[in-house]
Structure 1
């Protein structure tokens, strides 16, 4: 049986980026994702753009859209006002995150009148009774994790505060997620944990990004791309992502969340390979 899927998009900052977002949504919407999420820029820099993208996608494509919401650079009142604006527009899912520090700032510092962390944000959103709340999870240690197991403990706090499910950071080996899933189950976490899947469109770019995020890039993965001709990288990326997803599904994973980076072709092709069907006949011709 094919897995359930969801997609992440990010809001456009330019006209060209707007065209790319709408083309991405147009291409992936026929796969009928359970939901799609729209990110928030570091420091809340795309707050208004996120709102516009969320409402437009929901209105024009009929998708269930989850809006990212962070604790960065806003008071509690401002943050909850943004959340309620989403609810008033019919958006009932929030991806609640602490958020990254603004550009040029080394570490996250709470606004004096804002939420100190994602647990506080989740608790406040849950108290409104207006949202399904998703949170982030880290199969590999978060750069700020204080000790082994801290990421599992922190996720449990967010679930206990009222989160309904979690979406993980991307990873490159199925065992990374499976070990984390087992540790979460042992800690008493029963909420769904969706693995975050990143199809590798540009290996060097993904490697740099992964290292900044503290994610392990396996030697075997580097070797595969380095030994493959560049004109074959796309086919290799599809195959490796398909193999990763297949292993997860074989281990009982029912949901996959794709980080599209607003470049839809690889995500679409992997989903089709996994047995999903597109309502757009041109995608399966």
Structure 2
């Protein structure tokens, strides 16, 4: 995807990645795999597959990631969570991923109870474990509005720097709605010496009610104008508004040098497909 040089316009190369999550019921699973066949047409740079402590142990994430790779031919990153697993279990999971050809990992601390041997754990430990096993391509999480359990954004960026210094190669942010929030976060991270790619994570608004609950849990601010606009109008109005929100976010991010965007798809294809096709045409 390119934008030709013309006056103040700059030649750009834009890519994007798609996050999907495993499902439990047969109907949801069928929908999940249908979504993958739709997303295949978009040719993302990579997919990421979310995990929890249980399904990364039983091997289901590894199987899903490899099936996506077989269907699409694209790179697939598996999420891996530290949680309360003992080091031997984490070593085994990492080795299993590597042996299965899954060499891109999104390394996360996991839930709030990530404690082992009486000590609180951090994602830096998981980065170190992964690189002790093999030279993984590791992405880690960043929080433009700070992690909800962290005292300050400055402290949170210090924690992010620790993960990068441990060997992570990419930051994928929590979702946000105000592009300026991401741009300030990126500037602060760069000032702190974080010199890897910082990828903005965007969440298409599929269900606004569920989104507001998720945002509250994640510490993401939902602007008042969105609350007002999504409380009025009908379903069509909301779909148009969701597309406008995404296109505004993306346009501003691209104007400030962003080259890659990560979409939290929630396995929903329509809005993500629309915006990705718009990106193909416009940029």
For the criterion TM > 0.5, the same-fold answer is: yes
Query: What is aligned with 1:271?
Result: 276
Cα separation, 2, equivalents of 1:182 and 1:56? 38
The aligned residue for residue 113 of structure 2 is: 108
**For residues 219-234 of structure 1, what are the structure 2 equivalents within 5 Å?**
219-234=224-239
The residue that corresponds to 2:54 in the other structure is 45
Tell me if 1:254 matches 2:254: no
Q: In the alignment, which residue of structure 1 is the partner of 2:158?
A: 153
Check whether the contact 1:115–1:121 (CA below 8 A) recurs between aligned residues. no
Q: Is the 8 A contact 2:20 2:264 kept in 1?
A: yes
Deviations 1:39-59 (A, max 9, x none): 013xx1332332221121112
**Offset at 1:113?**
9.2
Query: How many Å separate the matches in 2 of 1:84 and 1:114?
Result: 24
CA RMSD, Structure 1 to Structure 2 (Å): 1.8
Alignment gaps of 5+ in structure 2: 3-12
CA 1:114 to 1:90, structure 2 compared with 1: closer, same or farther past 3 Å?
farther
Mapped partners of 2:151, 2:120: distance in 1: 20
Contact map agreement 1:96 1:133 (CA 8 A) in 2: yes
User: Distance in 2 between the 1:78 and 1:276 partners?
Assistant: 46
Of 87, 107, 120, the residue aligned with 1:76 is: 87
In the TM superposition, 1:95-244 aligns within 5 A as 95-100=106-111, 107-112=112-117, 116-244=121-249
Provide the residue aligned with 2:34 in structure 1. 23
Equivalent in the alignment of 2:9: none
1:276 to 1:56, Cα distance in 2 relative to 1, 3 A: farther
What is the TM-score with the length of structure 2 in the denominator?
A: 0.90
Displacement after TM superposition at 1:109 (Å): 3.5
- Shift of the 113–29 alpha-carbon distance from structure 1 to 2, 3 Å rule, reads farther
- Structure 2 distance, partners of 1:54, 1:113, is 33
Deviation of residue 83 (structure 1)? 1.2
Residues 146-175 of structure 1: per-residue CA shift (max 9 Å, x gap) = 234112111111000000001000001100
Task: Quote the offset at 1:276 in angstroms.
Answer: 5.5
Q: Secondary structure at the match of 1:45?
A: helix
Cα separation, 1, equivalents of 2:118 and 2:69: 32
Residues matched between the structures, number: 269
* Distance (Å, rounded) in 1 between the aligned partners of 2:86 and 2:93: 11
Counterpart in the other structure of 1:283:
none
- What TM-score, normalized by structure 1, do the two folds share? 0.90
2:84–2:113 Cα contact (<8 Å) kept: no
Deviations 1:151-206 (A, max 9, x none): 21111110000000010000011001000000001111100011001000011110
Q: Which moved more, 1:184-193 or 1:113-122?
A: 113-122
Residues 128, 166 of structure 2: 8 Å contact kept: yes
Contact 1:194 1:255 in 2 (8 A): yes
**Unaligned residue ranges in structure 1 (runs of 5+):** 101-106, 278-285
Alpha-carbon distance between aligned partners in 2 of 1:146 and 1:114, rounded to the nearest angstrom: 19
